[in-house]
Structure formats: C-alpha cells, structure tokens
Amino acid sequence: MCRRDEAGLFFAPSKEPTAARLSREEAAKRVCARCPVMVECREHALLQPEPYGVWGGLTAAERRVVLARRRRREMELKKAARATAANRIAG
C-alpha cells in the first residue's frame, strides 16, 4: 500500500506544524492498518532502527518507546536468569 501512496504521507517535511504532522501521521497509520505486511514492516523499522517516518503503523517516537521497553525487558530477563543460576549453584 505505502509504495503506491506518496512518501510524503509517511515522512515529515521540514518545519511541519504540529497539527499537520499529527494529521499526516494518523493518515499514514490508517494506510498501515490495511497493510498485509504491517508487522514485518514494523519489525524492520525496529531492527534497523529507522530514525524517521511512519513504519508499520508506528512513528519514530513510538518506535523509540517500543525499543526502550524491549531493552528493559531483556535486562530484566538476563537479571532473572543470573539470579536463577546463582540459586542453583548455592542450593
């Protein structure tokens, strides 16, 4: 879908007013919502990470939040694994 739409819908022009940006991003997200590869697109943008634009239904700011949550979760899982391993050795 997004390949047929104008790239301007997914990427901000310089000095775009906030109201215009929010409206454009919502329109881009509506296109994403109908896309059969939305999840794959989102994962691509998260793995790269893509610093700009709407990818897989998420803005750059939303992707930063997702990535921060993933990092926290990974750290928590590693900490829990270390604690489990320490308990096995001690027990």
Q: pLDDT for 20-58, tens place per residue?
A: 999 999 999 999 999 999 999 999 999 999 999 999 999
Phi-psi region of 54 (alpha: psi -120 to 50; beta: other; left: phi over 0): beta
Question: How many domains does the chain contain in total?
Answer: 1
- The domain of 81 spans 6-90
| Domain contains 47 | yes
Question: pLDDT band at 5, cuts 50/70/90?
Answer: low
Q: Is 83 annotated as a binding residue?
A: no
Among 53, 46, 39, CA closest to 69: 46
pTM of the complete model: 0.81
Q: Is 40 annotated as a binding residue?
A: no
Q: Is 32 annotated as a binding residue?
A: yes
| Domain contains 29 | yes
| Domain contains 19 | yes
Q: pLDDT for 66-91, tens place per residue?
A: 999 999 999 999 999 988 888 888 76
Q: Is 89 annotated as a binding residue?
A: no
| Domain contains 1 | no
Is residue 13 within 8 Å of 20, Cβ to Cβ? no
| Domain contains 80 | yes
